[in-house]
Structure 1
Amino acid sequence: MKNEQQEKRLQASSDKLTAELETAKKQPVVAAAPLTDPKSDAERDGYMLGQSIASNAVVQLQMVKDTGLTISLEQLIAGFSTQLQTGTSVMNSEEMSRRYAAMQEAINKNMGSLIEKGYARLNKQLDKRKSLLTQNGVHWFTVKSVNAKLIPEQQVQVSVKVSTLSGKVINDFADDKVVFDNTLPPLLYEGMSLTGTGGAVEGWALAKDIFEREPLPPWVAPYDVIHYQLAIK
């Protein structure tokens, strides 16, 4: 009964935040300006920095939403705009610090539950499959088998795509010439060691288990399921 009530509270908070987002989109006051292609270096650097800041904020907002906390999206935008434009705040620093600490505590308190749900989603991808290797939280599987594995110093063409379970692409490159040795990034070396020319493997893991070995963008949450796809020509 307790879990059911918690799920209902989380769903209600999620629905409220979604409704606020839809309402905000319809209000001219917060409507985004028409997209224009930045021309000068200063404009393009400014646009790049804006995208980077927004990407950092996305995961924080998502974690707040997933934790079940209720916030006003309109005031979130107002707080960002005021700080960016004037460097001032209508709230004093003591209240800001107190509220931030309380929000962070609530997120940390619920992180364990979010991690458990992440593992549950991960396990659905692993169910009834025989792994090639499970190491440091990564579960590797054969996608296309080959007779011979790579040998040290062998040069091959490698394609890699890293994405979240929801389909957001983290990294995607094709036909890069790579020399197979232990100076490669850990997950790339690990995946390549399991196959050979003409083969393909895939790895599944929770983001929190590969943060130290695989660089992930700031918008990836610790409980996101990561899919690592590797093919060798």
Structure 2
Amino acid sequence: MRWKHPVLGEFSNETLIHMAEQNGLIFEVGHFVLHQALKAANDWLAVCPTFCIAINVSSVQLKNSGFVEQIRDLLALYRFPAHQLELEITESGLIVDEPTASDILNRLHILGVTLSLDDFGTGYASFQYLKKFPFDGIKIDKSFMEQIEHSESDQEIVRSMLHVAKKLNLNVVVEGIESTQQEQFILEQGCDVGQGFLYGKPMPSEVFTLKLESHAQA
């Protein structure tokens, strides 16, 4: 989600979440985002039956006991397959209240929702959280890709994270892919999914619909 302010310009997803948390509006904003995302995703299913959508979850949402019911009701409303909804959770969302977060994530897991640990590798307890919570995958933070072509240490770190993920049967997405060289590196390491400007930039849903239809017809 992006907000283009007429004076201040475009606000990123991270900035919007932070502002909503600071102003006590995260529940309303979070519900709006989930509602709009699943509504659009339901339309995209008609074009691509295997379509999956990933949505960021705020640390505040992980403290809301009604969050799971909110997800369940929206999935039912739009008849969207639970396993094709991916919720991305950062470490900061887990640190705030681990017992509550654990309860919510386990209930979402039972519901069938896909859970991913976002910005993996940037926190002090990333690997520990893979043991504690029912994650289906990780998203390796883009900071490890910025100098990947020249930094042997970054290359080894990414290789290690991919190795651990494979051993744990976790899905892996590498963020920050902006060049063909970065893409080639992750392919050589056996990672099939990358995310970044090499593949596309944020765009209005109408534009994305046209691109999806064009891809489906190709």
Higher share in helix: 2
Write 1 or 2 for the structure with the bigger share of strand.
1
The two structures share one fold, judged by TM-score above 0.5: no
Q: If the TM-score is normalised by the length of the shorter chain, which range does it land in?
A: under 0.3
TM value normalised by structure 1? 0.21
TM-score normalised per structure 2: 0.22
